[in-house]
Structure 1
Amino acid sequence: MVFLCWARPSPHEQRTCIDKSGDFNYDSKYRGSTVKPADSVQQDRELSDSGFSVNHTRVLVGSGCETFEKGKSALQNWRINSTRRHFGLNWAFVDPRTPIHTGVKFCVCVKELFPWLMMPLQVVYVNENRSPKKAVASFGFGSGTLSGHLLAGEERFSITLDENNKVWYEILSFSKPAHFLSVIGYPYVLLSQKHFAHASSLAMRQHLSS
């Protein structure tokens, strides 16, 4: 099953995609794996032996508590500002009204040549940590692919304020083809993932520096 739309998907079309999607399309033993540090995921032999590719991007986007809180708000609202979102580029978006809570299903809409692809996911976890003694904090969430998505896997978006008062934006994912279309075009899919991570990181940096 593939969810296609010839025009920019409306909220109704996105809801139909979500309602018709099935359960998670990857093994439950990998559910929540992206909550771990990137090095641990990249070195996970079981993931690689199961055919998953890991994609990781981590960029410095600013410094200070105020910057961290602004970045956290951007993630929570799927927004960078009124015209950009970390998932609201010209060719990829999520309905910004989607709440980021564990168990919430949503739809990523991606423009691929002529049709739009609608790909269903579900929030697997939301993770927030703060140190009571140091100005160290992090916020992130991971979402897993559902039946009807071209890929099988999980992706985490997070923002962190470290012990040196630096703020980092990070995207971590593991995935493999879940449909013959993605099998055929998997090299292109991997390039698209890297392109999205770069564009999203740039949008976040621009938002936090504005």
Structure 2
Amino acid sequence: MVLLSSTRPSPKEQKDCISNSGTFNYDIKYGGTTVKPLSILKEDKELSKDGFLINHSKTLVGAGSDAYEKGKTALQTWMHFGLSWAFVDPKTPIENGVKFCACVKEFIPWLGILLQVAYVNETRNPKLGVSSFGFGGGTLRGHLLSSKERFSVEMDEEKQVWYEILSFSKPAHPLSVIGYSYCSPI
């Protein structure tokens, strides 16, 4: 189900949309795929054979433990969706199985599209001084795309803090084919 609204969707509209949602709209064999590193996904012939495009972006956001903790908090409160044209209710918990509505302004209407948190990963290695926090989500039936995505923040051995988005997707609705032509594989 897709929520269409001429105004910014209210929390009630989002909850109603979520309560009518179904299951993931992609083959179960792709369930944990975004946990894998980008290099492995690039070699996965099944993804391209099934029509998926891989998208990836990794950006340096700071350095040190404070920057890492701020990045982690930002992900946990959906600040990566805190845009004038997109949002997720910041009270939505990042926990396995939680369904959520990502609201996006598309020309005149707002679209509320349904996803579900598929996994949450956090690792810390005090000896090496590295840490990472991330979660993956997947689209639900009714979403315009069939996709999996991972959002993560990582502090490497040099104490650099990176924000990364990794996804693979393909159109799941005839309307999405039109806009999808602007996407390109990495």
TM > 0.5: yes
Structure 2 match to 1:138: 132
Q: Distance in 2 between matches of 1:20 and 1:106?
A: 12
**AA aligned opposite 2:20:** K
Specify every segment of 5 or more residues in structure 2 that has no aligned partner in the other structure, as ranges: none
Q: CA deviation at 1:43?
A: 2.3
With structure 1 as the length reference, what TM-score do the two structures score?
A: 0.85
Greater strand content: 2
Structure 2 match to 1:20: 20
Alpha-carbon deviations, 1:146-203, whole Å to 9, x = none?
0111000111100000011111110000000011100232124x38xxxxxxxxxxxx
* Mean CA deviation greater in 38-47 or 161-170: 38-47
Q: How many residues align?
A: 185
Structure 1 match to 2:44: 44
Q: Distance in 2 between matches of 1:77 and 1:182?
A: 28
Structure 1 match to 2:32: 32
Structure 1 match to 2:118: 124
Q: Distance in 2 between matches of 1:185 and 1:87?
A: 20
Q: Secondary structure of 1:58's partner?
A: strand
Q: Secondary structure of 1:182's partner?
A: helix
Q: Give yes or no for contact 2:2–2:114 (8 Å, CA) kept in 1.
A: no
With structure 2 as the length reference, what TM-score do the two structures score?
A: 0.96
Structure 1 match to 2:173: 179
Does 1:104 find its partner at 2:98? Answer: yes
Structure 2 match to 1:166: 160
* Mean CA deviation greater in 42-51 or 141-150: 42-51
Stretches of 4+ aligned residues off by more than 4 angstroms = none
Does 1:74 find its partner at 2:69? Answer: no
Q: CA deviation at 1:3?
A: 2.2
Q: Distance in 2 between matches of 1:51 and 1:67?
A: 37
Q: CA RMSD in A?
A: 1.4
Q: 1:151 aligns with which of 122, 136, 145?
A: 145
Specify every segment of 5 or more residues in structure 1 that has no aligned partner in the other structure, as ranges: 79-84, 192-210
Q: Give yes or no for contact 2:153–2:162 (8 Å, CA) kept in 1.
A: yes
Q: Give yes or no for contact 1:3–1:148 (8 Å, CA) kept in 2.
A: no
Q: CA deviation at 1:19?
A: 1.0
